Amino acid sequence: MLLIAGLGNPGAAYARNRHNIGFMAVEAIAREFGFPPFRTRFQGHISDGSIAGVRAALLTPQTYMNESGQSVGEAMRFHKLDFGAVVVLHDELDLAPAKLRVKVGGGNAGHNGLRSITAHIGNDYKRVRLGIGHPGARELVMPFVLGDFAKAEMDWVGALCEAVATHAGLLAKGDDATFQNKVHLSMEAAGFET
């Protein structure tokens, strides 16, 4: 079984924030694979289903971003999962908009959601890094990530989330390199330079 957690902040006020692209991607996966409605559990919203024959739980923590690890840790312990079964989708300042990279472990690059998850479960989980770009100066980062995507950006955001969902079967089966490549090709085909 996999636990796939998308990171964001709860509530309608944050729904279109750059920080919430992890929520958006998980919701796209739920639609693509016909997951049942999310229910409240593990300090989050969770839905159980199957991705390309692999049992999976989709989780959107409803703690705030900087306490995401509480929710992820609770769900991981309940399902008796190890690090290799946890996948976290999150916004990434150090990647250009519409880019995606997959890695296991590594630093948290100042991301409070990742820092919290690492504090609760350790560092060796898989991260799907969804590029949102960088505002250019450190003091602009907080208002940037907590700001909404511009209307013009929503085209690539939607395309990226759909590409993640379309190819999530590869991610579920552990074929990270092919998943990353297929998402890249989907974004190119949709007219977004990656």
Phi/psi at 90 (5° precision): -150, 160
Question: Are the C-beta atoms of residues 92 and 36 closer than 8 Å to each other?
Answer: no
Name the pairing type of β-strands 39-41 and 44-51. Answer: antiparallel
User: Can 79 be counted among the known catalytic residues?
Assistant: no
Query: Which residue is catalytic, options 19, 45, 90, 184?
Result: 19
Catalytic residue numbers, as ranges:
19
